[in-house]
Amino acid sequence: MRKRDILILLAAVAVAAAVALTVFAGSALPTGSWGLSFRQEGQAPIGNAGVDQLKRYDAMYIGDTQEKVLYLTFDAGYENGCTAQVLDTLKAHNVTAAFFLVGNYIQRNADLVRRMAQEGHIVGNHTMHHYDMSKICDKEAFSKELKDLEDLYRETTGQELAKFYRPPQGIYSPDNLKMAQELGYKTVFWSLAYVDWNNDSQPTREQAFAKLLPRTHCGAVVLLHSTSRTNAQILDELLTCWEKEGYRFGTLTELFETA
């Protein structure tokens, strides 16, 4: 084979390899719902996207897995009469949490939202209408969902909304993550949660602890729903358990500083 032919062949192989890598990279972070696989009690779960994959989009689901720190977050699509108790408990433990809110929550519960801000909690963006954002491909429409909530929060509290985004229902796409990043947002998934959102079938205290405590791990981003009556009732005991185990509570700002 002549040298020229060898060079052409090598070039073709390089192009094919580059294409294959591009295809793989594109499929490595598919559109879907955030999910976790717990392999061992007390150890960090595996997410359906890796830490390094998410970093490209300023997204995280877990912190330093060698440090006994927890990042407490709450999602709130509506008010169920439990948030004041949650805030009371957080204040008693001197714990700062993050609340991801939607538009109707802020509109209907302005006093609670102002209390969150006044007591030092982070309020993050859960979008204006809690749509499946993976179906919104237009950047202008995506931006409006986040910016309308920013405006509403500013009108309600006089403060700027923190630039943390949690996709409704944990449904995401690479394009969504990129658009959020371009808007200056950091996307926050989670590494510890349980089925606490169904108010027609709330877990018992025993069921909640059986799910949460064995899966607690260093660097956990904890997702709870402030609509849960069970969460409001057990939060004091839960925080006490974590504190006795040597955990401290960090903020989302700190979480991304460790990235």
Catalytic positions, written as ranges: 75, 225
Residue 164 tokens read as: 């943390």
Strand partners, 187: 59, 165
Element (H, E) at 179: helix 174-182
CB 6 within 8 A of CB 142: no
H and E: helices and strands count for the chain: 10, 12
Task: Pull the structure tokens for residue 136.
Answer: 């919104």
Report, in angstroms and rounded to the nearest whole number, the Rg of the chain calculated over CA atoms.
21
- Residue 119: φ, ψ to 5°: -90, 10
* Terminal CA-CA length for the chain: 50
Residue 227 has phi, psi (to 5 degrees) of: -80, -15
Structure tokens at 116: 């969150």
CA distance linking residue 82 with residue 115, whole number of Å = 14
Please report which helix (H) or strand (E) contains residue 122, including its range: strand 122-125
| Nearest one of 81, 62, 84 to 73, comparing CA atoms | 62
Place of tokens 């409704």: 168
Structure tokens at 258: 């460790």
